[in-house]
């Protein structure tokens, strides 16, 4: 079994250009199926979830090749509409293939997606929206069978601004007759990036980044080129690492306003934060101050994906910080592991109370989900002594060569077999 051995206590100094965004590249790869052209998708991070998406595209008949950091997808030969169960279960965003495959072929056979265990993750909004567009979707156990004689545009009001449902409906709407309006749409930057990719293909999509996305369907979709947005959550994670361990870090490639809720917390915690147009610099003396309550919320609120890394940074602090997790009902599984490192954190329901301690100490811990795993690395970098982190499959789903990035900044981390 692979593990990361982390020796805490080194300051992190230097600069890094952050990887392409996992949560952008996955919907974009699904979108590449919609037309019959060739998509050149640059700045693709080398992640397990990306490899799983490529495997799905190949299974469906696409030709996919890698050219440096670009994936080149030729979707002209698509000849299947089923996604095998083992590939569906690899990750949550495999559900985006439902809208894309239905739109492209008129039928889809999938099963319920996998992904991080963060509590129940229903897909009712995806299904309701696709049904409103004229798809018939039958669920048998964990299998989904969808078919349509032709999707049609309609108005969909999402009960909650779901990122995945917004994306799935945008994809299907590109292949629907007429206009689709998605109201109460998610406003995440990754939705804007998907819109840009779809436009580059020839789709007529507007409104991404606001609460209403409008798609006029059936425009011809052809060859395109696109560069994937940089990953604001990976950026937040590296900033959390520098905040926790102490140091002077510049993160390049990410727009400051996409990170302002996270950097706001680090400023309040005593770090010095400054920004250029597409870079953020953070200087920290290591031990932070507790801050006012942090409520996770849909964008532009504080991102649920940054909750664990930021909590890990505040574990060693003066004072107390309260977290309220409003997006997922069970997103504190990292807390038990942080406690092994000496953190004083109590949870009740959606609330976690972090009483800052003067010192964390190295321990053996296990990543139980992607962002929680990243949080363990953050805490281990701030701890005295050596930690051993297992469960790397989770971390590798979303971070490109995380130990290499951190070691280049001065961290002491080795990936090894246990
Ligand atoms: C995406 C991100 C994930 C992030 C999350 C919230 C990707 C690949 N993943 O996940 O990293 O943590 O947004 O920012 O982009 N919901 C329903 N019914 C549905 C769909 C969602 O009730 O049909 C609920 C969920 O249970 C959750 C909330 O809506 O409570 C938000 O989920 P959603 O925005 O859909 O998250 P994902 O798209 O799965």
Nearest CA to ligand 1 atom 38: 164
Of the given ranges (79-88, 90-99, 216-225, 357-366), which has the lowest mean pLDDT? Answer: 90-99
Compute the distance from residue 163 Cα to the ligand 1 centre, in Å. Answer: 5
Cα gap 292→284, rounded to integer Å: 19
Q: Is the CB of 163 under 6 A from ligand 1?
A: yes
The predicted structure's pLDDT at residue 330: 85
Side-chain half-sphere CA neighbours of 234 within 13 A = 29
Residues above pLDDT 90, as percent of the chain: 91
Residue 209 has a CB neighbour count (10 Å cut-off) of 17
Query: How confident is the model over 39-84, as pLDDT tens digits?
Result: 999 999 999 999 999 999 999 999 999 999 999 999 999 999 999 9
116 CB near ligand 1 (under 6 Å)? no
Ligand 1 near 215 CB (within 6 A) = no
User: In the prediction, which pLDDT does 116 show?
Assistant: 55
Q: Which pLDDT band, with edges at 50, 70 and 90, does 115 fall under? A: low
In degrees, to the nearest 5, what angle opens at C-alpha 9 toward C-alphas 5 and 13?
100
Residue 340 pLDDT > 80: yes
Report the percentage of the chain scoring pLDDT > 70.
98
Ligand 1 atom, smallest distance to 186 CA: 34
Which residues pair with residue 39 across a beta bridge?
A: 73, 224
- Residue 120, pLDDT score: 67
Sign of CA dihedral 177, 214, 297, 253: positive
CB contact set of 274 (below 8 Å; sequence gap of 6+): 280, 281
What integer pLDDT is reported at residue 253 of this predicted model?
A: 96
Q: Does residue 402 have its Cβ closer than 6 Å to ligand 1?
A: no
Ligand 1 proximity of 235 Cβ (cutoff 6 Å): no
User: Coil, helix or strand for 296?
Assistant: strand
What the block records as the tokens of 170 is 């945008």
Of residues 134 and 115, more confidently modeled: 134
Q: What is the DSSP string of 129-189?
A: HHHHTT-EEEEETTEEEEE-S--B--EEE-SS--HHHHHHHHHHHHTSBSEEEEET----H
State the Cα–Cα distance between residues 274 and 254, nearest whole angstrom.
13
pLDDT of residue 153: 97
Helices of type H across 44-123: 48-60, 85-88, 96-105
Mutation choice for ligand 1 from 20, 30, 164, 333, CB with most ligand atoms inside 8 A: 164
Question: Is residue 309's pLDDT more than 80?
Answer: yes
- Check whether 117 has a pLDDT greater than 80: no
Per residue in 103-114, pLDDT (tens digit) is: 999 999 998 876
Coil, strand or helix at 42: strand
Burial class (CB in 10 A: 0-12, 13-18, 19+), 385: middle
Give the pLDDT mean for 208-216: 98
Q: Which of 277, 307, 327 is nearest to 374 (CA)?
A: 307
Determine the pLDDT at residue 182: 98
**Residue 167 in this model has a pLDDT that exceeds 70:** yes
Helix (H) or strand (E) holding 364: strand 364-366
Cα distance between residue 191 and residue 189, in whole Å: 5
The C-alpha atoms of residue 65 and residue 67 are separated, in whole angstroms, by 7
pTM of the model: 0.97
Angle between helices 48-60 and 96-105 (to 10 degrees): 20
State the average pLDDT over residues 200-222.
97
Give the whole-angstrom CA distance, residue 231 versus residue 279.
12
Closest residue by Cα to atom 12, ligand 1, is 305
Catalytic residue set: 116
Each residue's pLDDT tens digit, 373-404: 999 999 999 999 999 999 999 999 999 999 99
pLDDT of res. 107:
96
Instruction: Name every residue whose Cβ is closer than 8 Å to that of residue 119 and which is 6 or more positions away in sequence.
Output: 328, 329, 330, 331
CA distance 312 to 19: 22
Tell me which residue has its CA closest to atom 25 in ligand 1.
121
The DSSP bridge pattern shows strands 288-289 and 317-318 to be parallel
């Amino acid at each position: 079994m692979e593990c990361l051995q982390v020796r805490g206590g080194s300051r992190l100094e230097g600069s890094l250009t952050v990887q392409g965004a996992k949560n952008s590249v996955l919907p974009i790869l699904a979108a590449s199926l919609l037309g019959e052209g060739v998509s050149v998708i640059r700045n693709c991070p080398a992640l397990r979830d990306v490899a799983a998406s490529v495997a799905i595209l190949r299974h469906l008949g696409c030709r996919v090749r890698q050219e440096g950091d670009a994936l080149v997808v030729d979707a002209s030969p698509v000849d299947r509409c089923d996604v095998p169960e083992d590939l569906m279960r690899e990750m949550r965003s495999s559900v985006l293939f439902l809208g894309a495959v239905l739109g492209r072929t008129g039928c889809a056979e999938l099963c319920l997606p996998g992904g991080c265990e963060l509590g129940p993750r229903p897909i009712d909004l995806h299904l309701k929206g696709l049904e409103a567009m004229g798809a018939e979707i039958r669920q048998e156990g964990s299998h989904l069978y969808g078919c349509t004689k032709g999707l049609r545009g309609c108005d969909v009001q999402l009960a909650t601004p779901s990122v995945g449902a917004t994306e799935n409906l945008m994809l299907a709407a590109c292949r629907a007759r007429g206009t689709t309006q998605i109201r109460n749409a998610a406003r995440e930057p990754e939705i804007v990036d998907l819109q840009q990719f779809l436009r580059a293909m020839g789709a007529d999509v507007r409104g991404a980044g606001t609460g209403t996305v409008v798609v006029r369907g059936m425009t011809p979709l052809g060859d395109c080129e696109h560069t994937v947005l940089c990953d604001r959550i990976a950026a937040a994670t590296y900033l959390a690492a520098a905040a926790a361990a102490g140091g002077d870090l510049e993160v390049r490639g990410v727009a400051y306003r996409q990170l302002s809720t996270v950097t706001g917390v680090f400023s309040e915690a005593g770090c010095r934060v400054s920004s250029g147009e597409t870079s953020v610099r953070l200087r920290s003396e290591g031990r932070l101050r507790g801050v006012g309550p942090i409520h996770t919320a849909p964008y532009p609120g504080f991102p649920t994906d940054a909750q664990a890394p930021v909590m890990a940074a505040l574990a060693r602090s003066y004072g107390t910080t309260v977290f309220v997790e409003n997006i997922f009902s069970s997103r504190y599984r990292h807390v038990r592991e942080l406690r092994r490192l000496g953190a004083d954190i109590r949870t009740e329901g959606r609330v976690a109370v972090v009483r800052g301690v003067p010192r964390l100490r190295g321990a053996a811990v296990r990543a139980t989900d992607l962002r929680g795993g990243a949080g363990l690395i953050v805490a281990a970098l701030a701890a005295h002594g050596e930690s051993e982190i297992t469960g790397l499959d989770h971390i590798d789903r979303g971070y490109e060569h995380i130990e290499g990035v951190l070691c280049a900044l001065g961290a002491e981390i080795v990936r090894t077999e246990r």
